[in-house]
Structures are given as structure tokens and as C-alpha cells.
Amino acid sequence: MAAARDTNTSPRARTGLGQVARWYEERRDEIFGRRSPSLEVLRRSPAEYVVVALGTPRDVATAVRRVITVGSRWVRDDGIHARLARCHDQGWIPGVPTRAQLIFGGADMIRFLFEPGGRSLNRARGIDRRLYYVLLTLGDPATLLDPGGMTATRDEVVLHVLENFHFSPVYDLQLLATFEGGLAALAEACTQVLDGTHERATALRARIPEDDYFETLRRYALEASAGRRPAAPRFPCREGEISAPSGTPEELAALQRAAQTFTELWAFLAYCSALPTDPLELARRLHTLRACPVDAVPTLAAAPGRPPSDPRSERRPAPASTTRSPRKP
């Protein structure tokens, strides 16, 4: 049997370079949450985490390009305001947030939802709060600029949904609804994956654990594009795939408020539009406010992904992970 394993192992995998590559991929999966928390969680040294988060020269170059891309899109606006104004005209959000409100609202998303939501798993890995932000800054600095994906293009969001399995893709589906024809583009892409005409159909189907993932998304996107208001799909979690958040009762209550505020795009945009408009006041608030405010959860009307039969009270905090999967340009 050992001989059979050797036969199936490529020459490159048996070399020192192959061993380094496997070491790198395993550690990177652990740091950025691509492995299920049900798998063995190993504690690594901070230095090892930092080296892996920084990545290879190619990873560094990619991270720099992403920062430049996201930063330039914020500066140019790239139609973000026009998309949100259309959502406001449709009655989906109470106001159109400014660029500063979106950026500081995104900072709140990271510190009130992402980091607390993955705290129990991070502690098991030996990653404290300070190291978490160091790893996020080194591994995916563009996420700090736009954790909500507001600068992503329509095709980037579609590809993100296809490539990354979501237990509840409601946020990204609502993000697609801000684009003219966004949900129709998702339906077309899912159809291509299902019939094999998509250029990455085989790889995408192999990557997603749920057999009905693409068909469910396609059906939702078609119904939503036709003007109906279907509930956004939710996929079942297997045992051990969610790590329960930990903390004091006050911390868990704050995390629940954050989940209700930041796991839907419409709630996030309503939250942003209610923030102060003065950048100096926003900066002061960033340094003084330590938990998601009690009055943070907005009241929303029905909008794409949020029919009246889908009450906000049924939502739960997102699965704990070290970082949220970014919408990469």
C-alpha cells in the first residue's frame, strides 16, 4: 500500500520544494479559515503565522495590486453612488451613505463582526486580537479598505459566489441586486456551470460541497430577476462546520446585534447612512466606540433577498472563521 501511495505521488511532491508547498498551503488554510473548524486545530507560533500570511512574492504582488485597485475605485467612485441611489429610489435603503460613511461602516463590520465572530477559533489557534489584525493586514490588506465589497464589480461578485461556498449567500445576492442585470448574470453563470459550458465548470463543481448549490442559486436568481421576492437560499451546515462564538453575555449580545446589522447588505447600508457625516467625528467614534451599539440594528422594508416572510429575528451570527472570504478583484 505504501508503494501505491508513492506511485500516486508526483516527483515534485517528494522534493523539498513540494514539502515546502504543502507546508505553506496547510498553514495558509488554517490562518484564513479555508479548512473546516471540525478538522484538527493546531497552534502555531506567531512568527509562523506572520510568514505564511505575508506569503510568497507573488502573493505580496497580488495583495499590493488589490490595494491599488480598491483604493483607486474608492477615489473614482466607479458608479457606487449611482448604484446606491437607485437602491434608495427603489425604497430598499433609507438613505445613500457617503464614501466616508461606507469606509468607516466597513471598519465597524470588521471589529464588531469578523474578529469577535472568529474569536473562539482564533484563540484555539493561538491568535489573539492584535495578531488577528496583523495577519489580516499582511494577508489581505484590501479587505481593510472594503470589507463589504462595495467596490467590487458585478462580474467579480458573481465569480466570488461561484468560487466560495456560502451557508447563507444573502449579502452577496443583495450586492448583486445593486447592479443592473446583476442577478441575471448570476443565473446565466450558474446555468453555464450546470451545463458544462462555463470555462471553469469542472473545477467549480469540484470545489463546492453541496450538490444543489448552483441549481439553488440559479433558481433564486431567475425568480428575483423576474420581479418576484424569493427568500435568499440557505444551505445546511454539517456537524462541526460552525464554531460557536465565545465571550461574556454582553459580548455575545453585541455580536448578535452585529450579525443582524452586517450580514445583510441593506442593513449594513442603513447602518452606514445613519453614521455621522463629519469625517473627524467618524474618526473619533472609531477610537471611542468599543462594541456594536444597542441601537445599531435598523428597521428595513422588503427588498431583494428580504421578503416579508423572512424575518430578521430568525438570523444568527455567521459561522466563526478567522476572516471572511474577500471579494477579490
Q: What is the pLDDT of residues 72-100, one digit of tens each?
A: 999 998 899 999 999 999 999 999 999 99
| 3 band by pLDDT with thresholds 50, 70 and 90 | very low
Task: Write down the pLDDT at residue 267.
Answer: 95
Average pLDDT, the chain: 82
What CA–CA distances, in Å, run from 105 to 131, 144, 269? 22, 11, 8
- Which range among 118-122, 159-163, 176-180, 203-207 shows the weakest confidence by mean pLDDT? 118-122
Q: Say how far apart CA 131 and CA 141 lie, in whole Å.
A: 14
**182: closest CA among 160, 163, 204, 164?**
160
Task: Write down the pLDDT at residue 306.
Answer: 62
Mean pLDDT of 24-40: 51
Amino acid at 201: A
- Is it the case that residue 261 has pLDDT exceeding 90? yes
Residues 6 or more apart in contact with residue 277 via CB below 8 angstroms: 98, 100, 101
Q: How far apart are the first and last CA of the chain?
A: 44
With 0-12 CB in 10 A as exposed, 13-18 as middle and 19+ as buried, what is 246? middle
CB atoms within 10 A of CB 20: 10
pLDDT digits (tens, 9 = 90+) for 48-59: 888 888 888 888
Task: Write down the pLDDT at residue 44.
Answer: 77
Q: Say how far apart CA 205 and CA 198 lie, in whole Å.
A: 11
Q: What is the DSSP string of 112-181?
A: IIIHHHTHHHHHHTT--HHHHHHHHHHH-HHHHH-TT-TT--HHHHHHHHHHS--S--HHHHHHHHTSTT
